[in-house]
Amino acid sequence: MQTDFLIIGQGIAGTCMAHALLQRGKTVQVIDLPAQNRSSVVAAGICNPITGKHFSLTWEAGKLFSTLVPFYESIGRVLGRQVFLPLPFYRNYHSIENQNQLSVRVASPDFAPFVEEPQGEPYKHWIDSPLGGWQTRQSGFVKVADLLKDYRAYLVAQDAFREARFTHEDLQVGKDKVIWQDIEAQKIIFCEGLQARQNPLFPDLAFTPNKGEWIKIRLQEPYTCPAILKQGVFFLPLGEGIYQVGATYDNTQTEPDNTPTEAGRQELLTQLREWLKVPFEVIDQQAGIRPATRTRRPSLQIHPTHPHIGLLNGLGSKGVSLAPFLALEMAEMILT
């Protein structure tokens, strides 16, 4: 079988990479073994341009956020449904200084397009806001597990997906092609997430695996909050009174497992109970490992001696915002 591109991995990185190439008229074969996937499938899928108590603008926020909406819309057109669900991301001011700090930041032209103060008290049913609060524009979320499943079906329908474990020892690298099993491709792009630690072609990728957990809760009254709330934990409305609450961060283990823990559950519940005003029950809990790098930056590389081999990885805790922009960048780099 001949193809333009072999793509290894169908997490959010591999999915966006495949889409970027298909949109440019290239053929792809995506190789993935879903059972190994514990990052994208558990992602809450939130895209938020401003993070932290001190209002830090996400790396390359302007580029990421102007790319992601049209990119997910383009995926939505092939899947026949909306993929990116826009929603404000709201936080309380925690002090007067904090409020003043935001007024200063809003004066910056990079920052201003992403922030606003809500009118009235639209979230008072869920949270008290004695000092008021602020929310982001251009934020929202993607139901990542559904996206991966649907995009896989779309690839399968085009005979562009193979459920298999990719084995590096069986890869033959030629001057201007690669061969793996019966597939001959002009180029190959690795989107393996944390499993890139076994990739001999890119041995310098330095990961700091970061375990994350979330819980799903059901409110007694099935109201849907018109924003993602964040106060210690995020509170993401999934509809019909169901909310996802997360996430924990633990980068202290070199070989974390993806088992949910009682400690993770209690950490989330303690933070949530500090402010959520309405009764709820926990209905689910999941964990996964973020492919974070030591530099906390994504990695987009063309192999130094094989220009037909690329890598897209290191998406850390922001894969859903980063992947569209980086996939388009990689397509540009590897096709020129």
Ligand X SMILES: Cc1cc2nc3c(=O)[nH]c(=O)nc-3n(C[C@H](O)[C@H](O)[C@H](O)COP(=O)(O)OP(=O)(O)OC[C@H]3O[C@@H](n4cnc5c(N)ncnc54)[C@H](O)[C@@H]3O)c2cc1C
Footprint of ligand X on this chain (CB under 6 A)? 8-14, 31-33, 36-37, 39-40, 42-46, 165-166, 191-195, 212-214, 246-247, 288, 290-291, 313, 315-321
φ, ψ (nearest 5 deg) of residue 155: -65, -45
CB closer to ligand X, 164 vs 278: 164
φ, ψ (nearest 5 deg) of residue 89: -115, 110
Residue nearest to ligand X according to CB distances in the complex: 11
Closest approach, Cβ 165 to ligand X, in A, equals 4
CB atoms closer than 10 angstroms to residue 25? 7
Tokens of 135: 């929310």
CB closer to ligand X, 106 vs 171: 171
For residues 260 and 268, the answer to whether their CB atoms sit within 8 Å is: no
Closest approach, Cβ 130 to ligand X, in A, equals 28
Closest approach, Cβ 119 to ligand X, in A, equals 26
CB closer to ligand X, 90 vs 214: 214
Closest approach, Cβ 158 to ligand X, in A, equals 19
CB closer to ligand X, 58 vs 92: 58
CB closer to ligand X, 98 vs 249: 249
64-74: burial string, b at 16+ Cβ within 10 Å, e else: bbebbbebbeb
CB closer to ligand X, 309 vs 320: 320
For residues 206 and 214, the answer to whether their CB atoms sit within 8 Å is: no
Burial class (CB in 10 A: 0-12, 13-18, 19+), 171: middle
Closest approach, Cβ 295 to ligand X, in A, equals 15
Closest approach, Cβ 142 to ligand X, in A, equals 8
CB closer to ligand X, 133 vs 314: 314
What is the SS3 assignment for 299?
strand
φ, ψ (nearest 5 deg) of residue 62: -55, -50
Q: Cα separations (Å) of 145 from 15, 27, 34, 120, 150?
A: 11, 24, 11, 35, 9
Residue with tokens 């099935």: 222
Closest approach, Cβ 17 to ligand X, in A, equals 9
Tokens of 41: 């499938």
